[in-house]
Amino acid sequence: MAYFVHVDCVPPPGTAPLDPLQRAGAAHIFGRLLELLDAVEAADGSVMEVASSKVGVHPDGAVLLLLLDAPTLELAESATRTAIEEVLDAAEEFTGWSVASCEVRLHDELTRQSLAAADGPDAPPSDLQERARRLRGHTVVDDADDVDEDAEAAAQATALRALAGRLTHGLDAFGYIRPDDADAREAAELAAGAVVYAISVLTDELFADLVELAQDDRSVADSDAELLALGLLPPAFAAQYQPAFVRRFILATAAMAQRLTSPSPSGPGSTAEELALRLLLSEAVAVLEMYDLYDDATEAPLAAFKDTVFDDYDHERLYDAGLDNAAEDVMAWFQPFQVDAPVHPYVLDHGD
């Protein structure tokens, strides 16, 4: 069965929060190490293949997400914890780091298929969280466990909602128009906070991707590495996504983020900024999914925000499978929509 294993890795106690450069470096190193981890071995000798992995680095540590095909939930958790602890012990850059938690998060669709195929008195419960608890051997969960889980989820939601005010569009951009609707306000704040948090995540991932490509001056098309953000750009132009492009795209991403948080917010000012915003909204969804907060309630405000900030969706044509990638120069994406709009000089300097 497929299991998503969520691993929280933390630096030694007393370590100062990681700055952007440190986070980019950590994301790059973690990514390279996980590339080498194609399988994990349980204590009973069984070997489980790692189907995919993703890294997210924040100021207080890193989150690793691994997709495993494992016989049981317990084996997926224990084998992954052991493997990541060995990775940390072997990496000089992560001396003193440890695994704070290692928890399975079930793949909902596969689990529902399994449940749909089961019947009879011994069929597993339809509720996925209850199924996970039973698989862990807890047929009865005491109140303390419930309180801990609820407190953790509430803390994560509170932290995201606290970031919402940094977006200057206001909650009405997320479809919140009824002051008496507390649930709608909470969902809008969660969505807005996820967008703010995703700005740092996307920026770190772009820096990590740049480090990866710059090693041998490769393009995305030539890279064998699992890139964190650049792989979400229109694939037809992968051969043109070289370090020179990525450096400019990072600046365009910064300009786009500035538009969202300035006193006079506005939408994207170029095709590159439109693509950066598209990536940002994808990252926001991933942030909410990471904390089990993405559902119909938070999907709706994100959709409303998307319609608010995009003047049109012309950039979506770049994702057409039949697009002729030789007919368009990606450097043209940095040209501003408004001729007199201020643009960072480096973005329009195509000399390198």
Q: Is 272's pLDDT higher than 90?
A: yes
**Where residue 240 falls among pLDDT bands split at 50, 70, 90?**
very high
Domain boundaries, the chain: 2-106, 154-348
Give phi and psi for 206, each to the nearest 5: -65, -40
Torsions phi, psi for 31 (to 5 deg): -60, -45
Give the tens place of pLDDT for each residue, 24-42: 788 888 888 888 888 998 8
Closest alpha carbon to 59 in 94, 85, 21: 21
Q: Could you tell me if residue 231 is left (phi over 0), alpha (psi between -120 and 50 degrees) or otherwise beta? A: alpha
**Residue-level pLDDT at 266:** 80
The conformation of residue 336, written as its DSSP 8-state character, comes to: B
Q: How many Å is the maximal CA-CA distance in the chain?
A: 71
pLDDT at 59 over 60: yes
Give the pLDDT confidence of 198-215 residue by residue, as tens digits.
Answer: 888 888 888 888 888 888
With beta carbons less than 8 A apart as the criterion, state whether 29 and 93 touch.
Answer: yes
Using the Cα atoms of residue 232, residue 235, residue 237 and residue 240 in order, give the sign of their dihedral. Answer: positive
Look at residue 324 and tell me whether its pLDDT is greater than 70: no
Using an 8 Å Cβ cutoff, are 303 and 282 in contact?
A: no
Question: pLDDT-derived band of residue 250, with 50, 70 and 90 as boundaries?
Answer: very high
Give the pLDDT confidence score for residue 326 in this predicted structure.
59
Of 133-142, 264-273, 274-283, the range with the lowest mean pLDDT is 133-142
Asked whether the whole model's pTM tops 0.85, one would answer no
Domain 2-106 in CATH 1.20.120: no
User: Mind listing the pLDDT tens digit for each residue in 116-149?
Assistant: 444 444 444 444 344 444 433 333 334 444 444 5
- Position 105 confidence tier, pLDDT thresholds 50, 70, 90: low
